[in-house]
Structure 1
Amino acid sequence: MQASPRIGMQKPDAPLVDTHVHVFRRGMPLLPNPRHNPDYEFTAEQLETTLDEHGVKFCVIAAASPWGDCNDYVVQSLRTRPLWRGTVILEPTVGRHELDQLARDGIVGVRLPFISAKELPDLGTFEWRRFLWRLADLDWHVHLHLDGPRIPQVLPHLERSGVKIVIDHIGRPDPVLRERSEGFEAMARSVEAGRTWVKLSGGYRLGDHSAELARELCRRVGYERMLWASDCPFVGAETTTYQSTVDWIHEAVPDAAMRRVLGLNAIDLYFRGARPAA
């Protein structure tokens, strides 16, 4: 890979890694009845500019559900940017040779956008068990995006498969029960079991108590498997600013040393342990 011209010095108090951003172009084919239907584009170049403005050096592109398994632009964006990684959306019937090529292109996981599904897939079928086994064999992770009340239906299957698990947006717990909900409890237990990470992200989608939720999760399970993400460009909530998501993580994790731990966790998970100098 050629080095990107944006590689520079990390700003001291900037997040080290943004673990959840999106890129997309106008004209990309949308799924029927997509959850979101953006009327604009957010290119890799625009993302580079945004990250540079906020001093963020590393990022992970999350495949976005409106475009299904049309992963072309995500993969293209990674090929010349060694400080970027990505996830893709795939059908469980995908072959191992395609997974191997995606790994060479900088893909490190598969996003499961189950939040859009009226009925959850049966992860006990041979196709899904084979798929998850292949992902575990590649040392990839599954990136679960699901509403909190349904998370307990999915986590046991993922845990049994042996694959690493990353849960989006603090698990999107029940907005009334919050940290007392079954989904939040299941997520915390899964983190404690040792192969699950959680993105402290999406606070602007979770209401006024989102920072409290993040603090409570960290209080219960520690910081070693926590990650930070902006969710830029905030599809469906475009009035959100990048700086507001940085400010939010300062509120949720006020200790600067622990915020650095979030970044180092992400380096270890997504970049194969290639930690920067202290």
Structure 2
Amino acid sequence: MSAGEPKAIPGPHPDPHAPTRWTPPAGATDAHCHIFGPAARFPFAADRAYTPPDSGIDDFERLQERLGLSRAVFVQASCHGTDNAAMVDALRRGAGRYAGVAMIDDSFTDADLAALHDAGVRGTRFNFVAHLGGAPDLDTFWHLVHRVQPFGWHIVLHFDAKDLPEHAELLDRMPCPYVIDHMARVPTAGGLDQAPFQALLELMRDDRAWVKISGAERLTADGPPPYDDVVPFARALVAAAPDRVLWGTDWPHPNVRHMPDDGDLVDLLVDFIPDETLRRQVLVTNPERLYDFA
């Protein structure tokens, strides 16, 4: 890699296993995953920080079939920037089984937003994580939040848990539902009583707040599975707001320390949510409410 060239990152697990501990129900949703390329048709952004291998909709649908999942929410990733074309193509391929979370900026017209909505986009995402560039310009942030509100979209927020108190006023001002990605990337080594996680639990008392119990491979202090140290955090969040919890694989897992097997992540849901009825709520009912799949 030459100086200034985006780093190449590895692709997902080449042969993930099917779930062995349970069978996901009809309508089960992977509510956080990405579509990368194929770059020959959907080029990556020139200013990207990393270059992933192609992980397109055909690859994803093979994975879904193996995992026994039937719906998905595609979250636009930074390697494609605000060019949502690959994601929109995937949404159209899904014919109502998929929804999307776009990345937008001030260049988007109302007609552009309406076209995204018609394709199945139901939210937009903002990154606040320091090592990924940090918080957006807040004037732009609020302008975009208010522009998407008439479409009924929600806001997806990527935080480090330690930064939640700093943004408490911002969250209190939100005029629409918002979703915290990956359990706010809470470091499991700090335990359940650590202040950042308690701040996240307190946040979940707000009916506007949703959280994704995804990213076990990012949160664990151990690296490879079984991700036992993540289980108490997921259980606490489900107990705090069972009707506002989502789950996703984060496939194809960009920038992880250890590449997970997606079958392990589906099996982990048995530990995250031991009650089968509640597990169905998190995988089927909750995403149906937020994403109104066709």
1:44 corresponds to 2:54: no
Gaps in structure 2 of 5+ consecutive residues: 1-21, 221-226
Deviation digits for residues 239-277 of structure 1 (CA, Å, limit 9, x no counterpart)? 3111011011111111111100102101111126x7xxx
SS in 2 for 1:132: helix
Aligned to 1:7: none
Q: How far does residue 224 in structure 1 lie from its aligned partner after superposition?
A: 1.0
Question: 1:258 pairs with 257, 272, 278, which one?
Answer: 278
Quote the sequence identity (%): 26
1:80 match: secondary structure: helix
Specify whether residues 93 and 155 from structure 1 end up closer, same or farther in structure 2 by C-alpha distance, changes over 3 A only. farther
Q: Which residue of 2 aligns with 1:222?
A: 241
Write the letter of the residue equivalent to 1:94: F
In the alignment, the residues of structure 2 paired with residue 181 and residue 33 of structure 1 have an alpha-carbon distance, to the nearest angstrom, of 34
SS in 2 for 1:269: helix
1:242 aligns with 2:256: no
SS of the aligned residue for 2:83 comes to coil
| 1:206 shift after superposition | 0.7
- Note the C-alpha offset of 1:182: 3.5
Check whether the contact 1:61–1:86 (CA below 8 A) recurs between aligned residues: yes
Please say which of residues 173-182 and 15-24 is displaced more in the overlay.
Answer: 173-182
Q: Distance in 1 between matches of 2:141 and 2:254?
A: 29
**Pair 1:84–1:57, CA change in 2 (3 A):** same
Q: Distance in 1 between matches of 2:186 and 2:278?
A: 23
- Which residue in the other structure is 1:88 paired with? 102
Q: Distance in 2 between matches of 1:170 and 1:31?
A: 30
Instruction: Tell me, in whole angstroms, the C-alpha distance in 1 between the residues paired with 2:172 and 2:152.
Output: 14
Mapping for residues 27-38 of structure 1, pairs under 5 Å: 27=39, 28-32=43-47, 34=49, 36-38=50-52
The alignment covers a number of residue pairs equal to 257
Give the Å deviation of 1:78. 0.8
Confirm or deny that 1:76 pairs with 2:89.
yes
Provide the rounded CA distance (Å) in 1 between the counterparts of 2:108 and 2:194.
35
Is the deviation greater in 87-96 or in 207-216? 87-96
Cα deviation for residue 65 of structure 1 reads: 1.7
Partner SS state of residue 229, structure 1: coil
Q: How far, CA to CA, are the matches of 1:178 and 1:166 in structure 2? A: 22
> Is the aligned partner of 1:157 residue 2:170?
yes
Counterpart mapping for 1:53-132 below 5 A? 53-81=66-94, 82-92=96-106, 94-115=108-129, 116-123=131-138, 125=139, 127-132=140-145
Shift of 1:178: 4.2
Distance in 2, matches of 1:135 and 1:191, equals 23
Q: Which residue of 2 aligns with 1:13?
A: 23
Please tell me whether the aligned partners of residues 48 and 78 of structure 2 are also in contact (alpha carbons under 8 angstroms): no
Alignment of 1:147-226 (within 5 A): 147-207=160-220, 208=227, 209-219=229-239, 221-226=240-245
Q: Structure 1: 5+ residue runs without aligned partners?
A: 1-11
Match among 264, 270, 278 for residue 291 of structure 2: 270
Q: TM-score, normalised by structure 2?
A: 0.80
Instruction: Say which structure, 1 or 2, has more relative contact order (CA 8 Å, 6+ apart).
Output: 2
Deviation at 1:70, TM superposition (A): 1.9
Amino acid at match of 1:23: I
Query: Contact 2:37 / 2:44 at 8 angstroms: preserved in 1?
Result: no
Equivalent-residue separation in structure 2 for 1:75 and 1:33 (angstroms): 19
Q: 2:191, 2:236 → 1: CA distance?
A: 10
Residues 22-67 of structure 1, C-alpha deviations (whole Å, 9 max, x = no match): 1112432235361x432x2111011111101121111111111222
Q: Please, what TM-score do these two structures have when normalized by structure 1?
A: 0.84
Structure 1 residue identity aligned to 2:268: W
Q: Distance in 2 between matches of 1:236 and 1:130?
A: 30
Q: Aligned-pair RMSD on alpha carbons?
A: 2.1
Alpha-carbon offset, residue 117 of structure 1: 4.3
